[in-house]
Amino acid sequence: MKVLRPRCAFDVPVEAECLVPERLAEMTTEALLRLPLAYGRFSVPLGELFEVEADGAADAAVVLEGDFSRVKRIGENMAGGSLEIRGNAGMHLGAGMSGGTIRVLGDVDAWAGAMMSGGCIEITGNAGPSLAGAYPGETRGMRGGMVLVRGDTGLRAGERLRRGLVVVGGCTGDFPGLGMLAGTLVAFGTLGIRAGAGSKRGTLVALGGVRGEMLPTYREACVYRPVFLDRLLRFLEREGFSVTAEHRSGRFRRWVGDANELGKGEILVHEKDLQ
């Protein structure tokens, strides 16, 4: 295992796409300290910005301790191993990752898990905008894997989600599931306004209701209890989300849309008063 700690507070962002567990596992501490990082407009060796502690084991486990909120692209395109960040993390955390696990004991900035295709990101705090989203010009956002956020998320969570599971323990910002293609986004709190706008398929689950009015291009189908949610909630309970007795026994109002698109998407809104 390797542990990295910032030597100072960063004035400008650090681009740290090299902080990928499987890549670091093969490196000696000396080689790691020489890795070039973009610090503002300068290229500096990693050792100038971070102190490194290694136990000599060649496992793909990396721990980042301290404030990494100005460190971007941590775990970008990672394919395996584990990364734990004991503090806040910057933008593009785990973007494009295809495997392995990232655990953040803090908040993360925008674009976490953007266009990822596998693996799992767990965030104990809040996530910024465009969680599991799609970069401008891309037709698909997250394509697989799982993102678990214990707190709230910013705007446009799960934009153009193609496959995979995004779970938000709190509330989402506005426009969740924008242009969604498939996959599942669950919010234990409320879904922001214009949920599922432009979605073709996929599922938005609002356990805490929806802020504002449902889009007129969504039509109410029925009130029922999809068995799939029983299966999903049981899994989320094991993952440590607070699934209540109300969640376990309640019914869900199914809205289908977006009629401007294919119209096979759904928003399942928990009906608190209907057991």
Partner 1 sequence: MRFAGVEIEDTYAEAFKMWGARLLVTGSSPEWARAAAEAAAGFAHSVIGCGCEAGVERFLSPEETPDGRPGATVLLFASSRKDLEKQLLLRVGQAVMTCPTSACYNALAGEEELSVGGKLRYFGDGWQGSKVLEGARFWRIPVMDGEFLVEDRFGIRRSIGGGNFLILGAEARAALEAAEAAVRVMRRVPGVILPFPGGIVRSGSKVGSRYKFLSASTNTSYCPSLRPLVESALPEGTNCVYEIVADGLEEDSLRQALRDGVKAACREGVCRISAGNYGGKLGQYVFTLRDLLGGDAP
Binding site for partner 1 (CB under 8 A): 163-165, 184, 201, 203, 224-228, 230-235, 248, 264
Residue number, 155 or 185, with CB nearest to partner 1: 185
Q: CB 231 → partner 1: shortest distance, Å?
A: 4
* 230 sits in which H/E element: helix 227-238
Take residue 200 and report the two structure tokens written for it: 């073709």
Residues facing 64 on adjacent strands = 4, 85
Q: CB 10 → partner 1: shortest distance, Å?
A: 38
> φ, ψ for residue 201 (rounded to 5)?
-140, -170
Report how far apart, in Å, the C-alpha atoms of 29 and of each of 2, 19, 53, 140, 243 are: 9, 13, 8, 38, 44
Q: CB 160 → partner 1: shortest distance, Å?
A: 18
Residue number, 129 or 145, with CB nearest to partner 1: 145
275: amino acid identity, one letter: Q
Take residue 170 and report the two structure tokens written for it: 């709190």
Q: CB 134 → partner 1: shortest distance, Å?
A: 19
Residue number, 112 or 232, with CB nearest to partner 1: 232
Chain position carrying tokens 């057991």: 275
Residue number, 41 or 238, with CB nearest to partner 1: 238
Q: CB 178 → partner 1: shortest distance, Å?
A: 20
Q: CB 147 → partner 1: shortest distance, Å?
A: 14
Report how far apart, in Å, the C-alpha atoms of 44 and of each of 25, 37, 73, 163 are: 21, 5, 16, 38
Interstrand relation of 184-187 and 203-206 (parallel, antiparallel or unpaired): parallel
Cα separation, 197 vs 275, in Å, equals 29
Residue number, 106 or 263, with CB nearest to partner 1: 263
Residue number, 154 or 202, with CB nearest to partner 1: 202
